[in-house]
Structure 1
Amino acid sequence: MINIFTLQWQRLRRKPFMVLAMVAMTIVFIIFIGGANNQSEVSVPISFTEGVSEAERTKLADQLNELDGFRFIETNEDKARENIALGVSSFGITLAEENYRFIIGTENPNQAIVEQYISSMYWEKLRIEQAVGPEGDEHLRRTIEASLEDPSMDVVSQIGESEGDVFIYNNKLQALFGMTLFFAIYTIVFGLGEVAEEKQRGSWDRLILSPVRKWQIYLGYLSFAFVIGMVQIFAVFTMFHFFFGFDMGGRWLEIFIICLVYTFAIVSLGMLIIGLVNRSSQLNAVVPIIAVSMAMLGGAYWPIEIVNNEVVLAISKVIPVTHAMEALKAITVYGKGLADIAQPLSILLLMGVLCMGCGINLMERR
């Protein structure tokens, strides 16, 4: 086993281009999609109708800018529409005295967060108006507003992940997790590519019939693919956390466990693919199709939370990327613990065991 394991590293040292290319492409895509700067605020253009007074405009703008992660810029509606049409902003808002409307260019997960916040603002304003009454008692209005600004009881609320709740969208972490898990599929599965080469040359049968035990042969190849995948994933995570300012929350033990389980699942999937193909050319053709499909359906390219198609959501449940993304975001974005991600980790382990069993069975039959 050790000899096979070290032999794979010697081959990698002689031909490191594939792994280096995957790491480089991961970095480029993360920087391109998620950005490598520390500016995490989303700019949203806002405009007001003619019926809104100057004092009310200032008050609404100040309230909006209390929303963390967003910066609301006052402009006129024509300018806002122009920015949205040019792709500078995904959406904008026109505010009136008693209502508001969104100007939408493209679907964006941040819109749901902003809409929920503005809705609460207008509901609060409506309740104050109802309490003040038609006579408009300004003293009572100021008293209510003061009590709302300095409440006697602090209520801590949390946005959950359950169906129907507004999810927290972090573009940086979405890009980091999605692209890292996606390109790791190539590295891990192609790391097992030597098995396909051995099968094509016919030397795999001789290797199986050699005095070396079968489990040692399998473990030698599988452990190499596992280690190279883990190194790539964790190297990218630590690089972007410490050098590019991507805040992953410091929960490194939980993140490490998620990476371990995900890598095991992908290694097992690679073993299943190797068992189905006969030549390395078939492997080269199949892997990109599977990797891209898994990334698209599993939420690596875009958040799975914004998908409404029931068929796509059903398919995503049998894709390892889906559960790895869910676990990573639960730890880093929502601040959950290891017990809270037991389900996605268990599913990944189950997928890994099933794929590994089927893959080895196919290898033995052939």
Structure 2
Amino acid sequence: MIGILIGKFRLLLRKPGALITTTLICMVFAFVTGKAGFDKLEIPVYSSMEANELKQYINQLNKGDVFHFKQSSENEVKERVSEGKVEAGVQLEKSKYTIYIARNSENIPLLEQYVKAFYKQTLKQKALEGISLESTDSNKKTVAEWPEMFSLKTSYFNNKEKPAYNQALQSLFGFTLFFVIYTIGFNVVDILNEKQMGVWDRIIISPTSKVAVYTANLLYCFLIGYVQVVFIFLVFRFGAGVDFQGAFGKTLIIIIPYLFSIVALTILLTGLVKTTGQFNALLPLIGVSFAMLGGAYWPLEIVSSELLLGISKVIPVTYGMELLKGAVISKSSLQELLYPIGILLLMGVVMMGIGIRLIERRHV
């Protein structure tokens, strides 16, 4: 087994072009699409409130990580929005707001969600502060139990509170999980090539067992994917200055179940096809579909279709994004992430078993 691993790495050193290319493309896409995340998205606002009160609203809104609210005049806000210079503008009032949008984008639902949550909290706080000091405890309890002024319902696997969002991390995690599918897949398909060329027949004649041959090949594919992910995260952490919020080491651990499930997935695909050409045609289709449905391109929190959300629950990318965003953005502990970890491991075991059985029946 060790000899096979050494041989694989020597072949990689001779022809590292494919790995280098996919890694560079991944970093370029992640940087370009996540560039808006390195700087807050500017949102011009205007209001008929007094200057001091408006300033308090803007200061509170600017405590978020995604948007930067900037005071402007009404004409300027509407003009910039209509000309497409900004994605949206907001009219802020004491108890209501109006959002003007230039075009639909992934940032608009996030903006609506953020402003709505801010007003809900602000109005509830003002209602509580309006109680006189002589109010009885029962009156305070009654006000605290008033129905919410806004209906806001968002949820995801482990956290029932409003999910946080970070464009830079969304792009980095999404494209990394997407491109590593290709890295692992185009290495796993070598099993099919070697079987068809009779390489495995010669290896099996030697004292090396078939289990050792499979283990060596799959371990190699896993290590290549892991090295790529670690390298990309290192470049963005120390090169681009992306803040992992103290969870950088944790991300290098929780990515392991996802990579295992992707190795198993590509093994299953290898067992389903008859030729390398079929695999090369099927892998991009699966990769792009999984990335779209699994929340790699955009956060699943903005998806409203119950059908798409249901499909996403059987896709490894969904749980990979949940792990990374949960660890970094939501600051979840490893114990809180056991659910997606368990799902990925279960997927991996099932797909690995089916895939190897299909390969043995079809190609031996």
Q: Report TM bin, short chain.
A: 0.7 to 0.9
Does 2:11 correspond to 1:11? yes
In structure 2, relative to structure 1, the CA distance for the partners of 1:276 and 1:83 (3 Å cut) is same
Instruction: Give the match's secondary structure for 2:46.
Output: strand
CA gap 1:19/1:92 in 2 versus in 1, 3 angstroms: same
Indicate if the aligned counterparts of 1:196 and 1:274 stay in contact, CA closer than 8 A. yes
Letter in 2 for 1:111: E
Paired residue for 1:226, among 222, 233, 236?
222
| Structure 1 range deviating more: 257-266 or 224-233 | 257-266
Contact kept, 8 Å, 1:36 with 1:244, in 2: the verdict is no
Deviation at 1:122? 4.0
Letter in 1 for 2:322: E
**Bigger shift: 283-292 or 253-262?**
253-262
Offset at 1:250? Answer: 2.7
Cα distance in 2 between the residues matched to 1:182 and 1:123: 42
Q: Which residue of 2 aligns with 1:20?
A: 20
Answer whether contact 2:182 2:287 (CA < 8 A) is retained. Answer: yes
> Matched residues in 1 for 2:294 and 2:265: separation?
15
Query: Are residue 167 (structure 1) and residue 167 (structure 2) matched?
Result: no
Alpha-carbon separation, structure 1, partners of 2:336 and 2:60: 34
Task: Name the residue aligned to 1:79.
Answer: 76
How many angstroms apart in 2 are the aligned matches of 1:242 and 1:350?
Answer: 34
1:42 aligns with 2:38: no
> Residue 37 of structure 2 contacts residue 166 of structure 2 at CA under 8 Å; is this kept in 1?
no
Q: Alpha carbons of 1:270 and 1:209: their partners in 2 closer, same or farther (altered >3 Å)?
A: farther
Give how far 1:59 is off.
Answer: 4.3
Question: What is the aligned partner in structure 2 of residue 279 from structure 1?
Answer: 275
Q: Which residue of 2 is the match for residue 70 of structure 1?
A: 67
State the Cα distance separating 1:243 from its structure 2 match.
1.6
1:88–1:194 CA distance, 2 compared to 1 (3 A): same
CA displacement at 1:209 relative to structure 2: 5.4
Counterpart CA distance in 2 for 1:163 and 1:329 is: 11
C-alpha distance 217-45 of structure 1, shift in aligned 2 (>3 A): same
1:330 aligns with 2:329: no
Q: 2:346 aligns with which of 344, 347, 350?
A: 350
Question: 5+ unaligned residues in a row in structure 2: which ranges?
Answer: 133-153
Deviates more, 1:223-232 or 1:59-68: 59-68
Specify every segment of 5 or more residues in structure 1 that has no aligned partner in the other structure, as ranges.
133-158
% same residue: 38
**CA separation in 1, counterparts of 2:5 and 2:248?**
27
Deviation, 1:37, is 8.1
Contact residue 26 and residue 180 of structure 1 kept, 8 A = yes
Q: Number of paired residues?
A: 336
Q: 1:228 to 1:163 in 2, by over 3 A?
A: closer
2:68 maps to amino acid: R
Matches within 5 A, 1:40-189: 41-49=40-48, 52-67=49-64, 69-104=66-101, 105-106=103-104, 107-125=108-126, 161=156, 165-189=161-185
Q: Please report how far the alpha carbon of residue 99 of structure 1 lies from its aligned counterpart in structure 2 after TM superposition.
A: 2.5
Classify 1:188/1:62 alpha carbon distance in 2 versus 1 (closer, same or farther; 3 Å): closer
Q: Which residue of 1 aligns with 2:31?
A: 31
Which deviates more from structure 2 when the two are superposed, residues 23-32 or residues 56-65? 56-65
Please tell me the root mean square deviation across aligned C-alpha atoms, in Å.
2.5
After the TM superposition, list the runs of 4 or more consecutive aligned residues in structure 1 that deviate by more than 6 angstroms: none
Structure 1, 250-259 or 347-356: larger mean CA deviation? 250-259
Distance 1:303 1:205, change over 3 A: same
The structural deviation recorded for 1:351 is: 0.6
**Distance in 1 separating the partners of 2:206 and 2:271:** 20
Distance 2:159 2:335 in 1: 20
